[in-house]
Amino acid sequence: MPLHRALPALVRDPLAALVRFAEEADGQVVRLNLGTFRPYLVSHPDHLQQVLRDRVANYPRDEQGLLWRPVRRVVGEAILVAEGSTWESTRGALQPLFTAKRAETLVDRMAEAIGMAVDDWAEPARQGRTVDGADELKRIVLTTTMRVLFADRISLVDAYRVSAALDTVTTAMLPRLLAPFVPYSVPMPGDRAFHGAVRTIDEVVLPIVRQALAHPTDDDDIVATLCRPRPDGRVPDEYQIRGDVVAMFSTATETTIALLSWLWPVLEKHPEVATRLHAEVERVVGDGPVRREHLPQLTYGRMVLDELLRLYPAGWLIPRTAAADDELGGVRIPAGATVLVSPYVTQRMATFWDDPTRFDPERFAPDRPRRRYRYAYFPFGGGPHQCLGQYLFLLEAQLIVSTVLSRYRFRLGAPADLTPRLGASLSPRQRSMLSLSAIQRPVAQ
Ligand code: HEM
């Protein structure tokens, strides 16, 4: 893709441009000429499987990479960015906390925390006040995650501080991401805000890590688990643990909030989906609290989530670097090249999906035949780095959606706009201001 076509299209609308480039090439590998940066866009499910799974050793996360450098300054060699033995040791330590079976055991605790957070809507609903849909999701998700994954070691007030600091970090490192060749000795806009935010994160997280290292326990929350010796007897140092705590905090909360933020505009735009979803929640949950046994019966709710993850995958870009020369579908990939893998792109390609831009949960009906390609749908990545939190996320998201809809109806103040805002995670550009009304049910005689 020559520079004169690639650059203007990417500047105008990067997501749409990437989908178009991939479609025009019918899923073949596309080399994007962006001047000094010439990444390879990989979109065919067969090639994705090679990169993420079959030849994973040849496609590490960009170890020396410019793209990850600012991220590494916040989280060090954390699970989200590391490779090799450091990654293996952390993944091995955390894995038992995130199995499908363990996630199931957390459902009751999650349901209780979510129920309490949603209770706070009673006032705005009564007074006819609007609430900000993303802010409310943040409150619900932070409350739940701190309770369930961090065993309340991080207070809600501190969780808000860390979350705001992470937002600052993401914005403040943008100039460095856009100009990765500028050395850190040269000051750039955003540096001061960046350092301030990192200080805030350290102020909250380091004392918690030190406390947990000084008083080891058998608890199965994230901090206690990261502070225990690994199979080789080694305990990572406090900066390594701090990086993993921050990485887990960030990924567990940001992606969940980003994905669920699409629920409001999507349901407003698709009343027929909203009606079916409401009917299912009413039939299965009624007016009681959502319980563990309800979840397997909320099949349409799950289909809606699967379709949200197809069109709006929070983790929209998965960059990799080729370690050695390789070939994908007849295209030579030289050592050192950046390879761009994007669930957003492949999941919106007409080559692999019928009418791909239409929001249609029926694609995920349990009786539909299996898709031809495993990697035509991969919102949680794939291979050894596949998302650790996927089971937990799906349960938590089902609980949040069904708790909210069993108690409230909402309307958006403005016509729904489904344009994404590009950030570390993919969220809607439009703010969703929700007018809430509590569901009135006849009082039983
Ligand atoms: C909408 C929800 C989520 C989406 C779309 C999502 C997506 C992803 C994707 C695409 C990857 C692969 C990254 C790569 O290959 O480089 C990933 C990795 C990861 N995710 Fe998620 N995620 C979500 C929620 C969560 C939650 C709730 C948690 C934790 C509680 C979590 C923890 C992780 C971790 C630790 C990794 C790194 C795994 C590794 O490299 O070994 N994610 N996620």
pLDDT in tens, 307-321: 999 999 999 999 899
pLDDT tens digit string along 79-94?
888 888 889 999 999 9
| d(CA 379, ligand 1 centre) in Å | 9
Domain total of the chain: 1
pLDDT tens digit string along 218-275?
999 999 999 999 988 889 999 999 999 999 999 999 999 999 999 999 999 999 999 9
122 inside domain: yes
Q: Which residues of 7-43 are buried (b: 16+ CB within 10 A; e: fewer)?
A: bebbeeeebebbbebbbebebbbbbbeeeeeebbbbb
The CATH number covering residue 303 comes to: 1.10.630.10
Q: Cα dist. 377→129, 301, 307 in Å?
A: 39, 18, 10
Tell whether the model's pLDDT for residue 350 goes beyond 70.
yes
pLDDT at 441: 82
pLDDT at 70: 66
Tell whether the model's pLDDT for residue 136 goes beyond 70.
yes
| d(CA 10, ligand 1 centre) in Å | 26
Tell whether the model's pLDDT for residue 173 goes beyond 80.
no
379 inside domain: yes
Nearest atom within ligand 1 for CA of residue 386: 12
Measured distance CA(120)–CA(189) in Å, rounded: 39
| d(CA 13, ligand 1 centre) in Å | 25
Q: Is the CB of 144 under 6 A from ligand 1?
A: no
189 inside domain: yes
State the CB neighbour count (10 A cutoff) for residue 130: 15
Residue 74 and residue 201 in contact, taking contact as beta carbons nearer than 8 Å: yes
| d(CA 171, ligand 1 centre) in Å | 21
44 inside domain: no
332 inside domain: no
The residue segments making up the domain with residue 418 are: 68-327+365-438
pLDDT tens digit string along 10-59?
989 999 999 999 999 999 999 999 888 899 999 999 999 999 999 999 99
pLDDT at 68: 63
β-pairing verdict for 331-333 and 326-328: antiparallel
Quick one: average pLDDT of 416-435?
92
146 inside domain: yes
Q: Cα dist. 397→121, 194, 240, 301, 309 in Å?
A: 18, 31, 30, 9, 11
Nearest atom within ligand 1 for CA of residue 309: 5
51 inside domain: no
445 inside domain: no
